[in-house]
Structure 1
Amino acid sequence: MNKVVIVDDEPMLCRWLTEKIDWQAWNCEIVGVGRNGLEGKELVKQHKPDILLTDVKMPGMNGLELSCYVLEHYPKTMVLILSGYNEFDFVRTAMRNEVFDYLLKPLDVEEFHKTMKKASSHLEQRLEHERKNEISEKRLEDSTELTESGILMKLFINGNKELPSLHTKIARLGFDLGKGQVVVYELHSPSDPLRDKWTPVYQYAVQNILFETFERLQCIPIVFHIGDRCVVVVKFQMGVATSLWEKRVLEAAKEGMENVKMYLNSRQSLGFGTVFKSIEEIYGSYQTAVEALEMQYFWLDETIPTMNGSVPMLIDAPFAVSPELYSIIENGDEDAASSSLASVTAQLRRIGKREFVYSVCTEMLIHLSKISEKWNKELDFLPLMNGMKQYRTFESLMKDLGHTVTSLCRWISSQKAYAVTSLPEKIVLYIQEHYHNPDINLGSIANEFHLSLSHLSRIFVRATGANFNEYVSQLRVEQAKKLMEQKHWLSNQDIAQRVGYNDGRYFSQVFKKYCGKTPNEYRGRRENKI
């Protein structure tokens, strides 16, 4: 189970989070609840949780200070900020502290569920990655005969901290790992269900193809898999110039890539490591190969990278996002914004610098957050900001950035449309958005729109054909019916509160008046029908 720590100085919210939320649905359990940042810090030290939910404003140590502490000492802990303060300074600090998400109070239940679903999915992916590494290590431990591939796998998984023990084993077994180069391959799309089912067989086939290709071109390869990546370690023979070996490795790597594509119908990216001259340098060669592979994979580029691991640059010119894009977004013009963003995407692709892409996207998200704040739009792209470097491909990053731009344009467009909506339509829309507030009444709406009660009453009847109380009651009952159908686990009292009734008994009376059945009778009819 994923461990969760909650830190908030509001007892009612803590009680709601601990008693009303089905944490097991996300494979989570609450291991501690703190009333302030200092208590939260001690709970984090004690439990090392997978998820920390913390308020911003708290005595002793605030939530942003706590998240900064967690980032430094427990980087694996995922932080969710809870705050009633929709201010850009808080969000900007949260971005720097790499929190996973930022939720506004009062909490919207559906948004909270969506966020927890994303958090749970992220934890599952991380666990799967760790599991693959554990499997690789376990296979190595269970091996009764230590081979060259076993030594190298252990070195690449654990780093140079294993060198003292490996030196002894290499000497005892007589292995020669003096000089060579590392090449790493990875599939572009390894998520095919059929391929996943046959992963061991598929990996065996890839290893055979690459081994035969490198060996046929007079290289001396050691080939094995670490997770989803196939590693080829080429040993150089003495007496041949390093430059000639590098040329031979480049030729073999290119042909190996073509053979995997031809025989297995699979596109791959690859990265070259630096030439190592001793066992102490092999891990460094592997790291540079992985970095080069990540660059190739990011662009889904099938061209062969240069031997120093970089992708040939097509353009190396100054570039900045035009202010016109932000003006278009502020106008709510979705089509023009998509077209302008497509132009930015094309230019970034031509430039081909991954870190530059991150820089430009970060700048854009900061601008978008300011626009969102101006238009009172909830900041729902914080995970994109903090998780930017987790995007394996340029395409997926720009796709999500495009969704963010589209969402913001639609929001602004709807707000502008609301501004020119007729007064009766605005009143109806206001009620539809605030019906769940138990304090909404004709008087509060009259104050909101600066109207007299009598004038508002006449406008409302002409617009809806019903008086205010009838309209709100019918609306609440219809929403209650939807909740019963979509979220059957909610109690009648929970549903009553969600649609604007503090008194569950009164809710039942109103429900029966408009439906002819009590809530329990209505639920029974639905269950029998199902």
Structure 2
Amino acid sequence: MKEIVPWETYHSQLCGVCSSAMEALEIIRRERPDIVVTDIRMPVMNGIDLIRHVRSEGFDPEFIILSGYDEFEFAKSAMQEGVKHYLLKPCGEEEIGSALLRAQEDLAVRRQSAAYSVRVEKSLLEQFLMLTLQGGEALPIDSALHAGEGLYWAVFSCPGRPVNARSMFAALQSAGFSGAELIKPAFCIGNAVGGVYLYRGQQPGLAELTLLQRSLAGPLGGFPSLLAAGPLDISSVRRRLRDVCGEYTAFTALTEEGSADYRTVRSVSVELLDGVLSWLEAALLHHDPQEALSLLQRTYGREISQQVCTRLLVRSLLNGTLAAREMAAALQSLDEGQYQPLEKLLAPRQQTEQTDEDFIDYILRYLEERLDDERLSLKWVASKLVFRNEDYVGKAFARRTGRTFISYLNTLRVERAKKLLSAPGEIRLSEVAERVGLGNNPRYFGRLFKKYTGYTPGEYRDLNK
């Protein structure tokens, strides 16, 4: 195989050839490859056991299995391990190359999905913290945290407002805990200043806490004393804030952009908010979004309306019908008392009554207008955009356009990229990738572009300037 495959033709680089599974395991640990091609039958450890070992150590490449006619039981075991790519021996360059390209596409989709999941988690946690600081009812986001993740907080004494809000935020953010990320905003409540962190793996220790305490001395104008620190459950954040800061009615939010003062909102029971949310979702089935949201505000007032709309946005984000950046923009508008962006986001709900004749038109319009949406795939479009069976949507799309969904989408991406690269002025290749929905996988964007045009994006840009 090493000799018969021109690896670069298939956008690949061979990083190792092994004679046993044990040798392969060592190379995988050292090189961290994207794709592993493995035989099923090998001495000492077979291919299925190799896959299990690799995944148990935290590596997750795409696997391509080589199998013979008499190895069906092994192939079934591979399917149970999530392997989707098989080659029947003997095989030649064309079969191997085709499998490599399919594995690359699956890898790109998985990485795109993982990156989106991280952004969803961050957006949810930021909104959760802000609403908790304001005194609103906590959001149901327990499912946002992944295995091995947790929340940790640290709160210090502050003689007054920070000397410089940006410096304070920077100290909490950059001089914080190794392997932990500060959730925005940091906060000042009375004489207390602190932040909540998302950590992955091992939670912060005493040495890291001491380092953070020292880094705050400059922005605070003196060495602060520690008021509270330790792990947090999502359900306990509000109670812990009240324990340390008392019954406060105002607080200051700190971000990299500076500070902003807020007053707390009236506390409302979860039961009431969930009841009003159910009422709003029912109203959206019978009224256009503008009318339904206007009725919500007239009936329940601004504070309850904002909390209910926030819960609706969070639910939409969790079930995949809303992008994280869309939610962030809508939340910002809600804070300012504006509901127009939310009305626009809710408008697609009206599309659920489409007939089979016009839902393809809706998909085509969405692709044209929202090509930068990184969630785009046949599965997502079918289940979240037009609410139909994936196989049915795929066949209807092919009948209408004469092409498969992925072929149509990739062509659209490449054509849009060509226009961007040919336009006057300079544009970064990473920005082009982002604007065609592949910002989190620029390498895949480059391979896709070259596959369709024969040029890398950089070469095409240089040729057309």
Q: Establish whether TM, by shorter chain, passes 0.5.
A: no
Which TM-score tier does this pair reach, normalised by the shorter chain?
Answer: 0.3 to 0.5
Using CA pairs below 8 Å that are at least 6 residues apart, which structure has the higher relative contact order?
2
Give the TM-score normalised by structure 2. Answer: 0.36
Give the TM-score normalised by structure 1. Answer: 0.32
Per residue, is there more helix in 1 or in 2? Answer: 1
